[in-house]
Amino acid sequence: MWILRRSVVLMAVACLLAPVDTGTALAVGGSEAGARHEDRTHLLGDWGGSRSWLAAHGIIVDVKATQFYQGVVDGSASTDDWQYGVKGDYFLTLLGEKLGLWKGLIVNVHAETRAGEDVNALTGFSPANANLLMPDSGGVTAVTQAIAIQMLGNEFALLGGKLNAFDFVDMVFHTGRGVDGFMNTSMMLPLGLGGTLGLGLPLGFVVKFKDKEVQGFAGAYDPNSCSTYTCLDPLLGDGPAYAAMWKFFHGGGEVGPRSSYSSFGGTYSTKEYTVVDRSSIFVNPGSGQGLSFTDTQPSWSVFSVLNYRLWADASNPNRDLAFKGMYTVTDGEANPVKWTATAALEVNSPLPGRDRDAFGVGYFHNELASRFKNTVGPLLSIAATLKNRTRTRIAIEDTDGFEAYYKAQVTPWFAVTGDVQLITETLSSEDTKTVAGVRGKVDF
């Protein structure tokens, strides 16, 4: 109950602080002031006119709260251990020209508060709740994004600052950040990029837009994750990393969030990562460190994200069916993941009269590097044998998973999502997990 009471307090504070989502429309205002409660786009409407007044003066404010209740219902000794967690997202976007500064300047700040628990520790290599990965512990509030964007005309922009990786992937590929759409981390972003990308990172990018969609980017970043601190001490302490991506849009008409495209990109990090390989094992009992790995090397990855609109209802622009896929290949040496693949179908407005609902079903595979499996597996087997005092063999296996969700938009400001996942375990000693859960999101 203390978690529930605390979440209510956090939501109340969020309403008062009111920081914002870059996607919040400037036309948020006057029409919402007199709208019926169930028709408002935000639970608290126009805040007595304050929301639209701030937007008219270049300050876009928004806050969201998402509650999660998930449990491992099969394949775990903790099948009766359901977890409740809540995330508060506070967004603030400043428009330079309206604030009397200069044209084309946009500043975006995203702060997050997390309370409660999650099931990620029970679901192995592919966390079942991506949104609760950051901040990394309960009861923490952190600024996870603070970036400045300077538009250079209508197509190009300079972007710099501390970036929230989930926000950026959502801005580019519309993955939903774990509060809309899929919840498993493997379905949210190409998991193989985790070797060279942190959840929060400082960067400087050149971004190319087509209409209002990101078509490409290129730039440098610090590969060390800094989701809950400033990232400045030390900046680029382990050397820079580089990333680039380009989208090829398919079909005619105006480009938008549901447009079909093929995208290709890659990363390269000059940081020296530990290579997990039998030949690099070094044992020095007298040092107090015991076992260590002596070999290091930089890391690279290439990826592709696809989105194909397979069908659209000619009489209802909100209703369509799309195929989405994400694929990654890495060096497989400095990165324990060799390659990953996902395939998903998502339907907008799957039922007549439910234009804002969405349904998705997807599959993912994470192939681990053979060097990693052939080294870590025997080490775990030795440790388990010593602990159990009987010969025990543990193998490291690739991870497969399935996820299905249905999001019901109860009102424009409140959505409820039912979600089920099947996740095979990385350790052969574990069973396949079945994870069930429900998610509720409120826009204040």
Q: Is 200 a residue whose pLDDT tops 90?
A: no
Rg (CA), the chain: 23
Domain count, the chain: 1
Average pLDDT of 257-274?
A: 92
- pLDDT tens digit sequence for 240-264: 999 999 999 998 778 999 999 999 9
DSSP secondary structure code for residue 38 in this structure: G
Residue 59: pLDDT band (50, 70, 90) is very high
Structure confidence at residue 403 (pLDDT): 98
Residue 232: pLDDT band (50, 70, 90) is confident
More confident residue, 92 or 200: 92
Mean pLDDT of all residues belonging to the chain: 85
Structure tokens at 366: 């994470």
Residue 231: pLDDT band (50, 70, 90) is confident
Give residue 167's domain range.
Answer: 2-443
Structure confidence at residue 22 (pLDDT): 36
Average pLDDT of 105-134?
A: 92
Query: In 18-136, where does DSSP find H-type helix?
Result: 30-33, 50-56
Q: In angstroms, rounded to a whole number, what is the distance separating the alpha carbons of residues 334 and 297?
A: 6
Residue 260 to residues 46, 249, 308, 423, Cα–Cα distance (Å)? 35, 6, 4, 29
> Residue 269: left (phi > 0), alpha (psi -120 to 50), or beta?
beta
Q: Is 421 a residue whose pLDDT tops 90?
A: yes
Q: Which of 157, 160, 145 is nearest to 198 (CA)?
A: 145
Q: Is 287 a residue whose pLDDT tops 70?
A: no
Average pLDDT of 71-79?
A: 76
Residue 146: pLDDT band (50, 70, 90) is very high
- pLDDT tens digit sequence for 292-308: 666 778 999 999 999 99
Query: Three-class SS of residue 104?
Result: coil
- pLDDT tens digit sequence for 362-397: 999 999 988 888 888 777 777 777 777 888 788 888
Question: Which range is least confidently modeled, 12-16, 43-47, 105-109, 266-270?
Answer: 12-16
Q: Identify the CATH number of the domain in which residue 92 sits.
A: 2.40.160.180
Q: Residues with Cβ < 8 Å from 174, sequence gap 6 or more?
A: 257
Structure confidence at residue 344 (pLDDT): 98
More confident residue, 152 or 195: 152
Structure confidence at residue 17 (pLDDT): 37
How many H-runs (helices) and E-runs (strands) does the chain carry? Answer: 6, 18
Most confidently predicted of 21-25, 148-152, 254-258, 425-429: 148-152
